[in-house]
Amino acid sequence: MPDIGIGACVTRCCWGGNDQEVRLGTWEAATPKRLEEKVPMAWKPGVWYRMKLMATVEDGKGVIKGKVWPRRREGAGEVDDRGHRPIPNTHGAAHLYAGR
Q: How many CB atoms lie within 10 A of CB 36?
A: 13
CA distances from 46 to 21, 43, 71 (A): 17, 9, 12
Q: How many CB atoms lie within 10 A of CB 31?
A: 8
Taken as a whole, the chain contains a residue count of 100
pLDDT score at 3:
83
The predicted-structure confidence for 12-46, as pLDDT tens digits, reads as follows 888 888 888 888 887 766 555 677 888 888 888 88
3 state DSSP class of 36: strand
pTM for this predicted structure: 0.69
Residue 6's nearest CA partner among 96, 71, 86 is 96
pLDDT score at 78:
44
The predicted-structure confidence for 39-76, as pLDDT tens digits, reads as follows 888 888 888 888 888 887 888 777 788 888 888 766 54
Does 40 sit behind a cis peptide bond, omega within 30 degrees of 0 on the bond before it?
no
